[in-house]
């Protein structure tokens, strides 16, 4: 490694079941720049070789972070090339994000990719606060520690309990509140997740999740992981096309790339907190019991639990401004 200062802290379980470091795929959505310029800035910053296809997609190979895909985040790009398609893409560029997708990275690779963002900002990249309907976000695809039920259920439960506090501590930009992303897990799902027997099989967890979360527009989207773990069951209970991945698909609601000082490090710390809680069995159990005590048959406000959750984190030594 060069003289970079590591900024991405390792996960509590830093290695996967096979002993290799757990990797993270990154997805960053932005506006203000055409995909070709984003690709050029990435190449200038990270090195590598650029290629492009008939659709508006660029591939950067052999860079300091391996491979990158850069494209307009729309199904139109996969349509057959025509004057009509190109005209539609041109008209939609003001609101269709350009997406940068990395290969799975280790912590060093995440640091190197993070160093690209200021160059994009200097080049004119815009984030989600730049317009009313700019639904730009950041996604982490975090490799699971293992396929064991405990390693799936633990982080999911921790996120479900932390979500209200996370959303209060990281308010969604007002421009995104009209978009479907903003839906949190239903409290009925959290309640039944906590009531799921300790020895419940994966099939029960998948059925429970799909019943209460029929959409992928959740902060923690479990569809790719469930598709990887049990594709036959997912084919029976859900029809939306999903790419199978052995990862937690953690979806942050904002990309603030145009704000000086913004970094993926603060976003990473949010997931780090989720896994820290998941690894602390006593804290997770206490948080679950207090959540159940705080929620009656109908939840009228999430704010009270968010405050209580923050107090629990502070008492556990995990809320010393973890999202700074």
Residue pLDDT, tens place only, 259-290: 988 899 989 999 999 999 999 999 999 999 99
| Structural contact between residues 116 and 33, judged by C-beta atoms closer than 8 angstroms | no
pLDDT of residue 242: 80
Instruction: Report long-range pairs for 4-7 (Cβ below 8 Å, ≥24 apart).
Output: 4/108, 4/111, 4/112, 4/115, 6/107, 6/108, 6/111, 7/111, 7/114, 7/263, 7/265
| pLDDT tens track for 180-220 | 456 799 999 999 999 999 999 999 999 999 999 998 889 99
CB under 8 Å to 149, separation ≥6 — which residues?
200, 201, 202, 205
Written as six digits, the tokens of 80 are 């057959």
User: Which residues in the chain come in under a pLDDT of 70?
Assistant: 1-6, 54-55, 73-95, 129-135, 170-182, 239, 297-300, 320-324
Report if pTM > 0.75: yes
């Amino acid at each position: 490694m060069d003289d970079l200062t590591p900024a991405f802290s390792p996960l509590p379980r830093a290695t996967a079941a096979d002993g290799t470091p757990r990797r993270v795929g990154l997805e960053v959505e932005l506006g203000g720049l055409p995909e070709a310029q984003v690709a050029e800035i990435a190449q200038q910053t990270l090195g590598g070789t650029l290629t492009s296809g008939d659709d508006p997609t660029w591939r950067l190979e052999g860079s300091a972070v391996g491979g990158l895909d850069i494209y307009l985040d729309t199904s139109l790009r996969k349509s057959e090339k025509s004057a009509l398609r190109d005209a539609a893409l041109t008209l939609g560029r003001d609101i269709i994000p350009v997406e940068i997708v990395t290969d799975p990275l280790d912590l060093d690779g995440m640091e190197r990719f993070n160093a690209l963002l200021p160059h994009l900002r200097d080049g004119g990249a815009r984030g989600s606060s730049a317009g009313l309907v700019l639904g730009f976000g950041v996604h982490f695809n975090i490799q699971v520690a293992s396929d064991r039920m405990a390693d799936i259920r633990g982080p999911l439960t921790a996120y479900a309990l932390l979500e209200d506090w996370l959303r209060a501590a990281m308010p969604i930009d007002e421009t995104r509140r009209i978009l479907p992303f903003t839906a949190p897990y239903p409290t009925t799902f959290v309640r039944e997740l906590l009531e799921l027997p300790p020895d419940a099989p994966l099939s029960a967890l998948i059925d429970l999740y799909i019943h209460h979360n029929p959409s992928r527009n959740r902060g923690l989207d479990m569809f790719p992981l469930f598709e990887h773990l049990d594709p036959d069951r997912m084919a029976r209970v859900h029809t939306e096309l999903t790419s199978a991945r052995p990862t937690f698909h953690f979806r942050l609601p904002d990309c603030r790339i145009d704000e000086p000082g913004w970094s993926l490090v603060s976003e990473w710390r949010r997931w780090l907190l989720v896994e820290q809680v998941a690894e602390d069995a006593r804290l997770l159990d206490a948080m679950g019991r207090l959540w159940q005590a705080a929620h009656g048959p109908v939840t009228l406000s999430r704010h009270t639990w968010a405050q209580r959750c923050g107090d629990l984190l502070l008492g556990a030594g995990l809320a010393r401004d973890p999202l700074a």
